[in-house]
Structure 1
């Protein structure tokens, strides 16, 4: 299975390939490895978006597994397992790298049954956190069942690693914290939107853009992001800060419920749903304050993007988020959505606090989140796994040389 010159066959598997954080992480991993000359395949489920598929490197080979769906479905899950297993037997990869919970479960089983020599799982989120007792037991059992066949776990944050170890999923030696790569410079160097641009892209709030205190939340419109719950809190924030304006950037199935709640609370003059934005770096730069009310995630990429934009952050506490959101230094972490009200009011009403938090954010070293850093660390991990699981590389070649041999 060793390719000419030390190159590898790598198969990435992800449940959905849309526009979320795990999806972009996978995109950049695939593209970086293809650029290095590895033979890269991407298996993804039926829920996918053409725009992110269009961003794949031309040499990445996409494979849609139609039966791979996010919800639990015994029939479809079995179909997906069989489909993946047959394809993996044909491809005969050196490494199978799964991402997200469902693909992590089905994909690792398929890799095991097809006798793939190296199996890696990316821990972007843990399904057993912040769920009911029965769900927690089931998800934990699944993760523990697959732990022995997983050669390495790639954790997006130290918090994810800690949660795994506390719950006895894998051991210390198999967990590797590799931050999720992104275009660091694009977020740091972005220019804020002008009032004229805002007028074109989003209807002005009742107080006008010049006077608005702009808050931004970037999150898929899904229940676990808790937009609807936050809107109830935002209504109270508006009562205390009449110039407050909330921008909701994202897309997803919860959008009708979000819009209905905005109307029901009388917030139409203070909230703007701006949809999915390819220029989100500029919207971050435009905001005075960035927020996230998620119930469960790994370290969300958007939290890092907020920090790259130099903005104070108020967010619900999530595993690993404390590296970025340091209480009263770069922002505030809170235990509940309801607890977001007080620190938001403080930042909006007290300019010295806002300025101090901005200064704190600018002091964070965010270089580990570059795409190049992520791919270099993945390359080193793969090389180590190769040496331990497969054996010395062909002809004594260094780990995956930069030019494919003829």
Structure 2
């Protein structure tokens, strides 16, 4: 009966056989770009007729996603944690192996570093026919030598288990090539999708005066916006320190930091200690990021490990120049000195200095704002992402080794199935 039901779904969706796809993400919350990208991919595939499962780790907000009313089946894997833990990692590997076998996964698509390692080993153990890894960030970039060696060793071990690497930027793809990771495997670039139109001509937040702390008759001060999950990797603390060094008490300038995360209390204490509460505002999670971009004059990002940051694309879509640290591949969207600034120094304080300097230079700010409003952002629309993702899956299923695994598994079950990505 289950087979007949699947065949009926296949006919209605133009598939000979819908795939069972298992996405694996270490953490799913509302603040991360990788999480937004993964969720959009899951929904697209489920709405295209496939059976899609999302397995996420202990620190995930599962209720947030199950409550959205999509066909995606979301599962909490308590054993999977972000920290390196031999006990937890082995338990997560065993749990995921069993789950992949239980749902009869045709494809496992892992995301981010920890889920990428544990998930690919589990998929191999469960004999999943096709294994895809999404590279959203470079875990071996801008870290200490020991940490870099560990990440590279793990990636080199997992690479032979991977059929297709899907990168969010050409920068991460080039970095994998330099590190000789997965040299004999497929590599594709699928840029993050987002609702670009949402950021174009958005109004200011209705509560903007309260957000930035001005009275009912005051003009809006010049404003820097940083949107990112509040964690050490994003270096908000160092940015705030630099901002405090180059601004004055009572100055008509603001720094808005939007997002939530484990560093929230630490950052609040830092703002109080530096006595910059008059001009630094921690907004927490906001559901209207496009309005925050509209309110800002400059957007900033100080992290050193990213794929291609969604918030920077969103900034340009909203016509606001961005000041960013020297991320690999950032030149795919930022032309330094034209529609933003790629800071040469790697410290986050320098990013703050440059952002404040741009705010104070009316002529340069106006020129960069105009260039930002003209930036080509069409490649980051959802439609482009879904088309690229579909093509990547077609190429994966066309691999002879994947086709052979699917055929051998189905023959062992006494089935004859044709799989195709429409």
Give the TM-score of the pair, scaled to structure 2: 0.88
Which structure 1 segments of 5+ residues have no match? 402-406
Match of 1:36 in 2: 48
Cα distance between partner residues in 1 of 2:276 and 2:193: 36
Q: How does 1:1-400 map to 2 (within 5 A)?
A: 4=10, 5-19=16-30, 20-50=32-62, 52-54=64-66, 56=68, 58-171=70-183, 174-193=186-205, 197-200=207-210, 202=211, 204-205=213-214, 210-239=219-248, 242-334=251-343, 335=345, 336-388=347-399, 389-390=402-403, 399-400=420-421
* 1:208 Cα deviation after fit: 7.9
Which structure has more RCO (C-alpha within 8 Å, separation ≥ 6)?
1
Change (3 A) 1:161 1:372: same
Q: Could you list the structure 1 runs, at least 4 aligned residues long, displaced by more than 6 angstroms after superposition.
A: 391-398
Residues 51 and 304 of structure 1, relative CA distance in 2, 3 Å threshold: farther
CA–CA distance in structure 1, aligned partners of residues 331 and 217 of structure 2: 35
Instruction: Give CA deviations for 1:131-155 in whole Å, capped at 9, x if unaligned.
Output: 1111111110000111111111111
Which SS does the other structure have where 1:176 is aligned? strand
- Matched pairs, number: 398
Would the aligned equivalents of 1:31 and 1:56 in 2 still touch at CA under 8 Å?
no
Distance 1:129 1:244, change over 3 A: same
Summarize the Cα distance change of 1:51–1:285 in structure 2 as closer, same or farther, 3 Å threshold.
Answer: farther
Inter-partner Cα distance in structure 1 for 2:250 and 2:355: 10
CA distance in 1 between partners of 2:233 and 2:195 (Å)? 26
2:246 and 2:42 mapped to 1: Cα distance? 43
Distance 1:8 1:170 in 2: 25
Distance 1:378 1:289, change over 3 A: same
* Contact residue 17 and residue 52 of structure 1 kept, 8 A: no
What corresponds to 2:412 in structure 1? none
Instruction: Give structure 2 stretches of 5+ with no counterpart.
Output: 11-15, 408-414
Contact 1:187 1:281 survives alignment (8 Å): yes
TM-score between the two structures when normalised by the length of structure 1: 0.92
Tell me by how many angstroms 1:295 deviates. Answer: 2.7
Residue by residue over 1:222-257, the C-alpha shift from the partner in whole angstroms, topping out at 9 and shown as x without a partner, is: 111111111111012313992110111011111111
CA distance in 2 between partners of 1:307 and 1:260 (Å): 31
Kept after mapping to 1: 8 A contact 2:27/2:58: yes
